[in-house]
């Protein structure tokens, strides 16, 4: 007898379709539909992720150990994407035309990926040069004479 793959019990059809994209995902009818989200768990997960972005932005604001320019870029990224995501999710939940469509949420997620790509490129290419320049400047200032007090 051959080994059978493990499956979910009663709701296996629902679980198998949970992580798959619909076959009409990139059609205009699907992307511009303003129906309320039917899967509340997935919707609340998305809203929770965007709230987590805002919390990470607040934590970054108080963290002084990160390079200042990188910290500013990450703060702006997490706060902006978090707020835009929550606003888009609210409009989606309320089924508001045009701004409550799936397309808006897709645009927010795509903008997040592109923005994070730019931050990654900055941290790989420009930031090491800035760190070296800053350390050289600190080393140079270390040996300058101090101003006398009057």
Q: pLDDT tens-digit profile of 24-63?
A: 777 777 777 777 777 888 889 999 999 999 999 999 999 9
Distance of CA 38 to the CA centre of its chain: 23
Asked if the model's pLDDT at residue 15 lies above 60, the reply is no
């508001």: which residue's tokens? 96
Give the model's confidence band at 19: pLDDT under 50 very low, under 70 low, under 90 confident, else very high: low
Average pLDDT, the chain: 83
**pLDDT of amino acid 2:** 56
Asked if the model's pLDDT at residue 9 lies above 80, the reply is no
Q: Where are the domains of the chain?
A: 34-133
60 with 71: CB under 8 angstroms?
Answer: yes
pTM exceeds cut of 0.75: no
Helix/strand/coil (H, E, C) string of the chain? Answer: CCCCCCCCCCCHHHHHHHCCCCCCCCCHHHHCCCCCCCCHHHHHHHHHHHHHHHHHHHHHHHCCCCCHHHHHHHHHHHHHHHHHHHHHHHHHHCCCCCCCCHHHHHHHHHHHHHHHHHHHHHHHHCHHHHHHHHHHHHHHHHCCCCCCCC
């Amino acid at each position: 007898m051959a080994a059978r793959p493990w499956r979910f019990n009663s709701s296996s059809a629902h679980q198998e379709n949970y992580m798959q994209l619909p076959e009409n995902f990139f059609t205009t009818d699907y992307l511009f539909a303003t129906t309320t989200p039917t899967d509340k768990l997935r919707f609340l997960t998305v809203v929770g992720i965007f709230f987590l972005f805002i919390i990470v932005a607040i934590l970054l604001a108080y963290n002084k150990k990160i390079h200042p320019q990188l910290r500013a870029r990450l703060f702006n990224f997490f706060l902006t994407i978090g707020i835009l995501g929550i606003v888009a999710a609210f409009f989606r939940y309320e089924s508001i035309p045009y701004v409550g469509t799936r397309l808006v949420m897709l645009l927010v997620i795509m903008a997040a990926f592109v923005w994070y790509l730019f931050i990654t490129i900055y941290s790989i290419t420009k930031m090491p040069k800035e760190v070296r320049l800053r350390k050289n400047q600190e080393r140079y200032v270390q040996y300058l004479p101090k101003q006398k007090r009057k």
